[in-house]
Amino acid sequence: MATLLEDGRRSQLPPEADLVQPRGPNVTVTYDFTGKVVLVTGAGSGMGRASSVAFADAGARVAVLDINSESGAETVKQIEAAGGEAVFFEVDVADDSAVRRAVDAVVEQLGRLDVAHNNAGAEGQHGFLLEQDPANWRRTLDVNLSSIFYCMQAEIPHMLSSGGGSIINTASAAGLIGAYGLTPYVAAKHGVVGLTKAAANEFSERGIRINALCPGPVETPFISSFPPSWTERLLSGTPIRRLAQPDEISQAVLWLGSDASSYVVGAAISVDGGVTIGGAETRVDDLDERVRDPHDASS
């Protein structure tokens, strides 16, 4: 069933009552990270905060890394209020020297590094390729792609010294498709997928599993700021017809960080509500018009 917009156009989405309402996961699987140290970048909000809280709830000591000290401290506060253990480290992931110092400080203070969720990123400037500012291109690649390279270079030696570990790099559904009007971001996230595969090839036999996570649209502060028409257009290409909750993404992160995924190496795991399966544009059941059957003599 379709609904009419104010100007008479027919919405591509079912009415609100027909939508699957946003919800967190009904978790029946538990993980035990007791004794493990987990590092999360971009941990001050959204998926990074949800991942940090989930790891702490599972018993890990969590290194909360973010460029924003106030939001990072709030994540630590939430973890500690629930009885968990977390420490904040301020870092700009686009600065390779700062990343190395931060990771070294994590290991010095917490003693080891078992799991890293390299999650920090930003969409950057929206617009067509010819409108993109070269400075934005460089910054978007630095924050989304080079940062992953810097993080892994700093993390892997520590994991090797303690016998192995697991690294989860946040890519995006945009790292698997050609998202419109986001050329630098799309290029960066495709790069994250490729970088993950290459690194996994090098280090899996040495006990470090490296995988990429490709989320679809998630209810974060950024997406929540979209105009309603933008959100509707976004969901029109999302078969599940709703935004993900950050907790739903963190469950995939925990799985990838755990021994439950011990044979998963170099994968790009889609947690996207169906965005990357394609075909949403072929849906016609919500339209009034019908194609005439050429074999039907009565039509």
Separation in Å, CA 286 to CA 10, 39, 113, 239? 9, 46, 51, 14
Amino acid at 210: I
Count CB neighbours of 223 within 10 A.
16
Nearest in space to 257 (alpha carbons), one of 207, 214, 199, 211: 211
- The DSSP code for 1 is -
Asked whether 31 and 44 are in contact (CB, 8 A), the reply is no
Nearest in space to 112 (alpha carbons), one of 51, 165, 52, 66: 165
Q: Of 31, 150, 180, 185, which residue is the catalytic one?
A: 185
How do strand 61-66 and strand 115-118 relate by DSSP bridges? unpaired
Amino acid at 153: Q
The per-residue b/e assignment along 74-98, b for 16 or more CB within 10 angstroms, e otherwise, is: bbbebbeeeebebbbbebbbbbbeb
Active site (annotated) includes residue 150: no
Tally of CA atoms within 13 A in the half-sphere of 93 that contains its CB: 30
Q: Which are the catalytic amino acids?
A: 185
